[in-house]
Structure 1
Amino acid sequence: MKSIKNLTKLYENSKKNLKLILNSNHIDAIKLVKLIDTLTFDNSFIIKKNTIYDLNEIAKIFRFYEELLKQSFQEDKNRFEIEFKLYLLLIKVFTELCNTFVNNKNKIPNIDNFFQILKESKNMLKLTVPLDSKHINILNNLIGEQLYYFSHIHYHDINEYPLDYTFEKYLLNLERMFHGFDLSLASNFGNKEFTNKEIELEILKNNASFLVLTLIHKIYKYKPLDSFDNDKFKNIVEFYINSFHKIKNIDNYTIAHIEEVILRDFSSSNIYINKITKHDLLEQKLVLLKLYTDEYKQLIDMIKK
């Protein structure tokens, strides 16, 4: 059993290593996997075999931490606090690992699978350890982060479903993003150890604007609408606009005008994030648009301007 001193050293070194990874121009999945190994005290959890991630092994890691936390909570509160920090850092590393999957359609399913394991772990921990509101808020931050980081990535074929279903799906994803942001905000973004409100708000704006732009593009391409006659479509656009702008009545504007407003949000958030974090979300989104179909050619041209 590692001493509290050694656990603290492990936490500080791992946090430093993660910051170095995140501050680089390219987030390296191999380095993140190695960091996960370090955070499991170099136990023999083999989470990746060749190019395949083993979900059973990943689940074992979280069962391992749940047992650690359950025991330390009962025996040594100081030890519990540092182990809880390590557990949170582990979740953060997995979230960043998922960021490396976004532009690979074969790996995108891993994102949903990983987060299902994380949610199960959170629920299990709440059942076995009487966490206080501080610990629950920090856990909620990490779950919330995942909602606004990844709710925009899945491709939806508008021709396979009734139009109203498409609108409901997009509104749900948009609401999930903002709910996730509110969860993160409530915990001050994990006490701002790796980020701050300004950066996270721009990430939310970038992903939310991207989601709405893809919907507007689909509407133009397949189901032409010149105004906001469809209430469900209008609700989506109003939800976004009211969150970031002071436009009181979108009925006074054409869809094309609103699209320009959202496109400016997308562009400005890309510039801000790239300047502060060095991460190129524009390139990430362009790759994402090309993953499944060539239907976004016009949108790609607009974004590149």
Structure 2
Amino acid sequence: MFQPKGIIPALVTPMDRSGNLLEDGLREVIDYTIEGGVHGVFVLGSTGEIYGLDTKQKQRVLEITVDHVAGRVPIYAGASEITTKDCIQTTQLAESIGGISAVSVLTPYFITPNQEELKEHYKAIAGSTNLPIILYGNDEKTNVSISPDTAVELADVENIVAIKDSSGDMSKMGEYIRRTQGKDFSVLAGRDTLIFGNLCYGGSGGIASTGNVAPAIVAGIYDAYIAGEFEKSRELQYKLAPLRLAFGLGSFPVVMKEALNLVGINAGVTLGPINEMSPQNREKLIQVLKDLNLYQVRV
């Protein structure tokens, strides 16, 4: 079964002010990240505003990604809906298109299932497809946590192959890693500031939104670590931190798109009700990009 590893950027979905997909912008983001050395691309995640896309748009994003990646790296797709039924529908859409290596499923949001309900939810999704499934926990956004006990049990399901942990809780991520040792199960950091920590503890890498903007730096954390260059890996993690922290300069996920626009890639705008960054915070973001030699690098 496929095992996720490395640095996988959670790509933005470029859109215009009317909410239409900017297809060439998506192709630009794909090329930019792959040229930067990432180990996969992930579309239709929360950074990709899956919650604001209709079924036709989701299908088109997947079709363009499969066509344009053309086998260069594995493709991951999000299927993060609220109900089990809708998660299955999006998972089967991804499977029907072909060329998708794995599907990531965020815990339900707005509703708050207990751990037994979460287990049933993920087992039903896994049973509906031949695709590998990645569990995704983001406690801050959903108020739903995947306990280590639940992760350990679900890791025994044949096609549940990994978990992305965006809790920011290194102790919990460490327990996911420790307690799934010996299983064919990957633990990926969802907090970009904890990629090095994930690797040191025995994890497999990260699904990182900063990989949209600084793919070479993020991929370098993983590549240096795998090469045994631990000090270099840590220094790259330090170098990345200001960019990740800068994502707090605006409402999620506007800063990722604005950063890409400032790099020179047409990422378009963020779906309402999220507005543009303030001029003051935009200047702060520009300075962070200049410090990383990324400002208008693609112009």
TM-score, reference length from structure 2: 0.29
Higher helix share: 1
Higher strand share: 2
